[in-house]
Amino acid sequence: MITPDYVQMMARYNRWQNQAVLSAASTLSPDDRITDRGAFFGSIHATLSHLLWGDNIWMSRFDGGAAPRGGIADSSEFAPDWAGLKAARGAMDDRIIAWAKAFQPIPPETLLAWHSGALGRAVEKPLALCITHFFNHQTHHRGQVHAMLTAAGARPGDTDLFIMPEAA
């Protein structure tokens, strides 16, 4: 069962980790951030842009806000400039925190229905699965960014959930 405590903890973890990778990435040159490093979306910047797009699409399903334009193929260009990406990331993390604070317990049988652009059809899945996927997707792509940052000489910091500061 997905609980409010779990959602709030993962929202805090998301913000803490996003701040860490953005801080580390900001120590690199713009060219270093856009260099193709062989990850699925290529560069540090493109992967962070995709992650922001993905958070936008999932949050639109969770809180009813506007969905971003474009699909997965366009997501690496969702936030094309660094300053805009950082500002939009902070705003998205605030939105996720606000959603998490308002989150109420859900029965296991609660379903979420949406049209999946990736699959090209309507989808209906348990909301708990979708929420778990949302946080897992963030961790997956931040892991890619963490590896690219480390390879580029930046120091993104600890990622262990149990190390997260209480104030994160």
Q: Which residues contact 49 (CB under 8 A, 6 or more apart)?
A: 41, 75, 76, 77, 78, 79, 80, 85
Evaluate whether 89 touches 48 at the Cβ level (below 8 Å): yes
Contacts of 41 (CB under 8 A, 6+ apart): 47, 49, 50, 75, 76, 141, 144
pLDDT by residue (tens digit) across 128-143?
A: 999 999 999 999 999 9
**CA 137, CA 11: separation in Å to the nearest integer?**
13
Residue 77's identity, in one-letter code, is E
Per-residue tens of pLDDT for the chain, all 168 residues: 799 999 999 999 999 999 999 999 999 999 999 999 999 999 999 999 999 999 999 999 999 999 998 889 999 999 999 999 999 999 999 999 999 999 999 998 999 999 998 888 999 999 999 999 999 999 999 999 999 999 999 999 899 999 999 877
